[in-house]
Chain A
Amino acid sequence: MLLYAVVPAEATTPASAGVCGRELETVRGSEAALVAEECQRAPEASRPMALRYYEIVDHLSRSATALPVRFPTVVGDRDEIVQELARRAPQWRRRLDELDGLAELVLRASWPDPTAAADAGQPGGSAYLRRRAAQVHATEQVADALEQRARQVCRDVRRLPAIEGVRLACLAPRTAASGLRRLLDEWQQEDAARQATLAGPWPPFSFVDQQEVASHDHA
Chain B
Amino acid sequence: MSVSTTTASSDVALIDLLDRVIGGGVVVSGDIVIGIADVDLIYLGLRLVLAPAHEVEDSVGLTRRRST
- Mark A residues whose CB is within 8 Å of B: 3, 5-6, 41-42, 44-45, 47, 50-51, 53-54, 67-76, 80, 84, 92, 104, 106, 108, 160-163, 167, 169, 181, 184-185, 188, 192, 195-200, 202, 205-206, 208-209
Contact = CB atoms under 8 A, between A and B. Distances in A.
Interface of B: 1-4, 6, 9, 12-13, 16-35, 40, 46, 49-50, 52, 54-55, 58
A74 to B, nearest CB: 5
A206 B22 CA distance: 11
A50 B13 contact: no
* 10 cross-chain pairs, A with B, having the tightest CB-CB distances, nearest first: A205-B24, A199-B13, A70-B25, A205-B20, A42-B33, A73-B30, A184-B3, A68-B25, A197-B9, A106-B16
Given A84-B28, A163-B54, A45 B22 contact: yes
A202 B20 contact: yes
A161 B58 contact: yes
B49 to A, nearest CB: 6
B3 A185 contact: yes
A71 B50 contact: yes
A71 B3 contact: no
Contacts of B12: 108, 197, 199
A67 B20 CA distance: 13
